Amino acid sequence: MKSNIKKLIESGKTALGIEFGSTRIKAVLVDENNTPIASGAHDWENRYENGIWTYSLEDIWTGVRHCYQEMAVDVKNKYGVALTTVGAIGFSAMMHGYMVFDKDGKLLVPFRTWRNNNAAPAAEKLTELFNYHIPARWSVAHLYQAILNGEEHVKDIVFQTTLEGYVHWMLTGRKVIGIGEASGMFPIDVKTKKYNPVMLKKFDDLIADKHLPYKIEDILPEILVAGEEAGRLTEAGAKLLDPSGNLKAGIPFCPPEGDAGTGMVATNSVKKRTGNVSAGTSVFAMIVLEKELSKAYPEIDLVTTPVGDLVGMVHCNNCTSDINGWVDLFGDFAKLIGVNISKAELFNTLYFESENGDKDCGGLLAYNYVSNEHITKVEEGRPMFVRTSESKFTLANLFRTHLFSALGALKVGCDIMLKEEGVKLDAITGHGGLFKTERVGQSYLAAAINAPVTVMKTAGEGGAWGIAILANYVVTKEAGESLEDYLENKVFAGQEGVTLAPDPEDVAGFEAFAKRYVAGLPIVRKAVECMK
């Protein structure tokens, strides 16, 4: 087996994916069947400087080189061969943000990450102008906010891109971006797979009085879709990524994509009427739409798959943090009475006990808002647990309530698509910490959205694996083979997974809880006002 993999590595029949997450840069090397064969990682943290969340260029290059080196060392240790080439490379990163460069390729202001909310006023104005929801983290919102602020640098912008677009440019010389990430820079026309021309003109008209020396389309990267070659590793790029000099130039790249797109690939959720839910500290759902929504909704971001199909995204800031706090509380009690129980056993015990609760949680109510929640218009975090004197206050109901609450805001957003807009959803894939305990979180998500939920073993491989698959797709796809067929036949065929259909009684119970949850929102808003 090892000798076979060694031959694949030496002959370049591999693909490399590298993803910049918020706290970790991860590299995954896969074989021609998209099976991971080596990996590397580098931990990093954003800095808060001058009121901005950022990473320096030095952070970026130190991190990606160390990550690549760790992966190359893993190859050497496992297979006894120095890595000199791969079949294809892809880069991915956390969504959007703001990186702008002048005519000499110099970064004009420190990288502003997705985490910055300072572009909210611009986002609001653009949403109104376009009649299309523009979140504050999108690149166009950051640009317009800089223009509104009268920032000196805006007149010198020649190129605007995102983190993975920047790294790709440095390694290949190509100013391109994958369509999924492009859709978070500026709205896309899904028919043409280009930036929306009507909105481009509206933006240019909006800033005409500023007399800037460019139109917005001039400074945005070229859009490419999955499967297109997006350039090749240059000599300078090879030295930049691997200063040891082992890595050879000429390797093809796939279009750089955002973490939303690579998450869709890693969960086999690029087909229309499918989607995925990532549930950890925060939670988001992405559903691939058959047609455009009837109007703009502040609760729904519109992005695309890596091939340019429209996706409705509901992103909530809070999911499991409050549950973790309650589990820790019960852990403290266990220690107090001399019971030694592991964290995993504690989670499993409490999650499984929740299944014994009333279907509607017995009249209990909780809000898991450790931080603000824009979906439900709550401006600051105020975790709360509320009951009436008639509520059935049992341990099972308590934990069922907290698990339902973890999906409460998500259900509010998803209901807009599924109920108000009539979006059809055949299947959804769940991944993240909420699903670690077998069956429980999975069955509650199925109840919340009234659709089958699948949890796959490979979902934990993450976005670095997703971008490695997209890199492999460029060089191993058959003529005319769509991404969804490639994933179905070449990546996920025979993969282990468990699918749970929604239980009608659980669905009815979650609906009853959701009505109570929405009706009680003034309570948590009042808490923000009263508890300072």
Domain boundaries, the chain: 1-95+230-255, 96-161+186-219, 268-319+410-502, 321-409+505-530
CA gap 256, 250 in Å, rounded: 17
CA gap 393, 308 in Å, rounded: 48
> Considering Cα of 408, then 412, then 417, then 420, what sign does the dihedral take?
positive
Strand partners, 455: 498
Kindly report, residue by residue over 482-514, the tens digit of the pLDDT: 999 999 999 998 777 899 999 999 999 999 999
Please name the amino acid found at residue 204.
Answer: D
DSSP labels for 310-350? EEEEEEES-SSHHHHHHHHHHHHHHHHTT----HHHHHHHH
> Are the C-beta atoms of 29 and 103 separated by less than 8 Å?
no
Kindly report, residue by residue over 285-307, the tens digit of the pLDDT: 999 999 999 999 999 999 999 99
Kindly report, residue by residue over 8-37, the tens digit of the pLDDT: 999 999 999 999 988 899 999 999 999 999
SS3 63: helix
CA gap 86, 373 in Å, rounded: 43
Mean pLDDT of 234-241: 98
Given the DSSP bridges, would you call strands 194-195 and 427-431 parallel, antiparallel or unpaired? unpaired
pTM, 2 dp: 0.90
Alpha helices in 477-530 (DSSP H): 483-486, 504-519, 521-530
CA gap 451, 428 in Å, rounded: 7
What tokens does 56 get? Answer: 């320096």
268-319+410-502: CATH architecture: 2-Layer Sandwich (3.30)
What tokens does 381 get? Answer: 């975090």
> Are the C-beta atoms of 370 and 322 separated by less than 8 Å?
yes
The phi and psi torsions of 17 (rounded to 5 degrees) equal -120, 135
Kindly report, residue by residue over 83-113, the tens digit of the pLDDT: 999 999 999 998 888 999 999 999 999 999 9
Domains 96-161+186-219 and 268-319+410-502 share a fold: yes
Best CA proximity match to 241, nearest among 86, 61, 27: 61
Per-residue pLDDT, 87: 97
CATH superfamily assigned to domain 1-95+230-255: ATPase, nucleotide binding domain (3.30.420.40)
Q: Give the fold, CATH level 3, of 96-161+186-219.
A: Nucleotidyltransferase; domain 5 (3.30.420)
Per-residue pLDDT, 497: 84
What tokens does 245 get? Answer: 């000099």
Kindly report, residue by residue over 44-97, the tens digit of the pLDDT: 988 889 888 899 999 999 999 999 999 999 999 999 999 999 999 999 998 888
